[in-house]
């Protein structure tokens, strides 16, 4: 095993027995939601994974160790520290390891650690992407590059319109990342069910998704994006939420927010100007993704067992 990696006992055991495991990220805890809802959500999402018959492995860097599987105390610690924890993407990992520091891992860094641990399915809320105005700022999330190179399937609720959704899909196409719609032909737009942009393939069951993931692992490698729409009862009115997002993006531009601060700034502003309504939607969609991710991890385990029997 890698000298920097610690895998929690329960996760290690599940992996050794070929049982389903679902990775969860930690930037969503520290930078994506306010305390204490962030910690409550992280614990609730772990429960949803368990109820779905898989073992959750929340991922972070703690004291210079790559962690696959956190204790409730470690989740509470990251959630309480919030924005003062380093938001850790690929480029930050070697620095945090050398300095024995803490980091909350983004989609990109969580994928790296999940792959090192042997975890193939990862559940989150939303991924980073090509930001609006990227033609001049070059602000393109490292999450997209990671999806092209690291062999983990990421279940998310699509891309939110703080991003340029069309350019994000173009980038994923260039990088060879399959985009699957879970029960939909369209890429969902996080707070709402549709973006108007099509996906590469619609899948209607965990088994269908698992077949594609196994075929990809056995051939071209790299990541896969699985987009699962927000549940109907939490889907927000597109005109309403898009107007709020426009307001937040305009404010970020006015204040000159850039680099790794952009996404957390926008998420926080949107939560504040919607009076917390977007936060409830965010929490509901992450739980919904956890349910689907657990089912896909189970289907992968079942299909592998069949192959070997």
Residues that bind Mn ion (CB under 5 A): 139
| Residues 6+ away with beta carbon under 8 Å from 105 | 25, 26, 27, 59, 60, 61, 88, 89, 113
Active-site residue flag, 25: yes
Instruction: Name the residue among 277, 284, 272 with its Cα closest to residue 41.
Output: 284
Q: Which listed option, ligand PSU, Mn ion, none, makes contact with residue 167 (CB within 5 to 8 Å by class)? A: none
SS3 229: coil
CB 86 within 8 A of CB 101: yes
Q: How far is the CB of 32 from ligand PSU (least distance, A)?
A: 3
DSSP state of 99: T
Binding site for ligand PSU (CB under 6 A): 25, 27-28, 31-32, 106-107, 125-128, 141-143, 260, 263, 267
Q: Which listed option, ligand PSU, Mn ion, none, makes contact with residue 192 (CB within 5 to 8 Å by class)? A: none
Hey, how many other C-beta atoms are within 10 angstroms of the C-beta on 163?
A: 28
Q: Which listed option, ligand PSU, Mn ion, none, makes contact with residue 288 (CB within 5 to 8 Å by class)? A: none
Residue closer to Mn ion by CB (options 133, 196) is 133
Residue closer to ligand PSU by CB (options 31, 193) is 31
Q: How far is the CB of 38 from Mn ion (least distance, A)?
A: 21
Active-site residue flag, 46: no
Instruction: Name the residue among 57, 45, 276, 268 with its Cα closest to residue 152.
Output: 57
Q: Which residue is nearest to Mn ion (CB)?
A: 139
Q: How far is the CB of 141 from ligand PSU (least distance, A)?
A: 3
Q: Which listed option, ligand PSU, Mn ion, none, makes contact with residue 103 (CB within 5 to 8 Å by class)? A: none
Kindly state the helix (H) or strand (E) to which residue 86 belongs, with its residue range. strand 86-88
DSSP state of 235: P
Catalytic position from the list 67, 87, 160, 287: 160
Integer Cα distance of 3 and 285 in angstroms: 35
Catalytic residues: 25, 160
């Amino acid at each position: 095993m890698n000298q920097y990696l610690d895998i929690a006992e329960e996760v290690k055991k599940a992996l050794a027995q070929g049982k389903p495991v679902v990775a969860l990220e930690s930037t969503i805890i520290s930078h994506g939601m306010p305390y204490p809802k962030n910690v409550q959500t992280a614990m609730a999402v772990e429960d949803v994974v368990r109820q779905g018959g898989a073992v959750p492995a929340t991922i972070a860097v703690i004291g210079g160790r790559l962690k696959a599987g956190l204790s409730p105390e470690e989740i509470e610690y990251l959630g309480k520290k919030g924005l003062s924890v380093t938001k850790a993407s690929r480029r930050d990992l070697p620095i945090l390891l050398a300095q024995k520091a803490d980091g909350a891992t983004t989609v990109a860094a969580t994928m790296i650690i999940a792959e090192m641990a042997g975890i193939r399915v990862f559940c989150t809320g939303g991924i980073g992407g090509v930001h609006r105005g990227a033609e001049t700022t070059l602000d393109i999330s490292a999450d997209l590059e990671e999806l092209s190179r690291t062999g983990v399937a990421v279940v998310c609720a699509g891309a939110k319109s703080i991003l340029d959704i069309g350019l994000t899909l173009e980038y994923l196409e260039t990088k060879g990342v399959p985009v699957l719609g879970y029960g939909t032909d369209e890429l969902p737009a996080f707070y709402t069910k549709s973006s108007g942009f099509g996906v590469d393939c619609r899948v209607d069951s965990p088994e269908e998704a698992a077949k594609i993931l196994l075929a990809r692992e056995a051939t071209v490698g790299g990541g896969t994006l699985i987009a699962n729409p927000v549940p109907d009862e939490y889907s927000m009115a597109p005109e309403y939420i898009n107007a709020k997002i426009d307001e937040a993006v305009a404010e970020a531009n006015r204040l000159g927010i850039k680099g790794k601060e952009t996404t957390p700034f926008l998420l926080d502003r949107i939560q504040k100007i919607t009076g917390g309504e977007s936060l409830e939607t965010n929490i509901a969609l992450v739980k919904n993704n956890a349910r689907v991710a657990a089912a896909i991890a189970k289907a992968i385990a079942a299909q592998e067992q069949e192959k070997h029997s």
